[in-house]
Structure 1
Amino acid sequence: MLKVNAFDHLVLNVRDVEVAAEWYARVLGMTRVDNVQKQGGPIRTSMMFGRNKINLRPISMSPDVWFTGLSPQPGSDDLCFLTDIGPEEVADHFRQCGLEIELGPVVKPGAQGDILSVYVRDPDGNLIEVASYK
């Protein structure tokens, strides 16, 4: 029986790769990596953090060039990232970055128990939750 045990990567559909990459680097401390695809394909931009990555797929790119879901839309995702700092520090950081806090700090159920979460939106309108375990 098949049983998955982790994510390798996620793909976000974005309006502007440069804007999204700058935001994820500046706000969430991720590292940008640009990869040239085999067979002369376009450069793909990924944001690396820990053992994970997010690929930034420009919404303007044809599904023939970058195989994707049936209804790609920027701003339709909700993502939760974990951090080791507390929610008040997260909220302070977001304010220093000029972001409006959508919600939080609040207690939410995480994958391994209660988490303390703060929510903002990325440039495409995706809901970004940054949380820490109690």
Structure 2
Amino acid sequence: MRDLEIKLDGLDHVAIRVADLERSAEWYSKVLGLKRYQLPEWGDFPLFLLAGKSGVALFPANLEDPELPPSTKNIGMDHFAFHLSQENFKKAIQHYDDLNLEYTIKDHHYFDSIYTQDPDGHTVELTSIKVNPNDFYK
């Protein structure tokens, strides 16, 4: 097996679905001291709470969906993301192509992201900031 050509810079965020966005945001801010980022370009969610450049992204759980198990109602982990440079983002796309992995790419205004699933169906995101980090992480 050859060495992997892409380099991850670290964990970016863990996305979790919560019953109440504001209650959870308050908790993460008060208990862990995370800084709130809620950006108009993204609408009401995700709501990021970060320590430096990593943290949690809060999404609303679908509490009313009758198809979801009553024990969870979609509350829990949605996905996790690793951060990498734009150069390594491009390499990751080529790497995924070489592996014949199914993936999707999304433009999140400030970030580009590539999504795939692990063998157990967990969504794995690789994300790369495309604006000056000093302008985003204030």
Richer in strand (by share): 1
Richer in helix (by share): 2
Query: Which protein, 1 or 2, shows the higher relative CO under an 8 Å CA cutoff with sep ≥ 6?
Result: 2
In the superposition, the TM-score normalised over structure 2's length comes to 0.39
In the superposition, the TM-score normalised over structure 1's length comes to 0.40
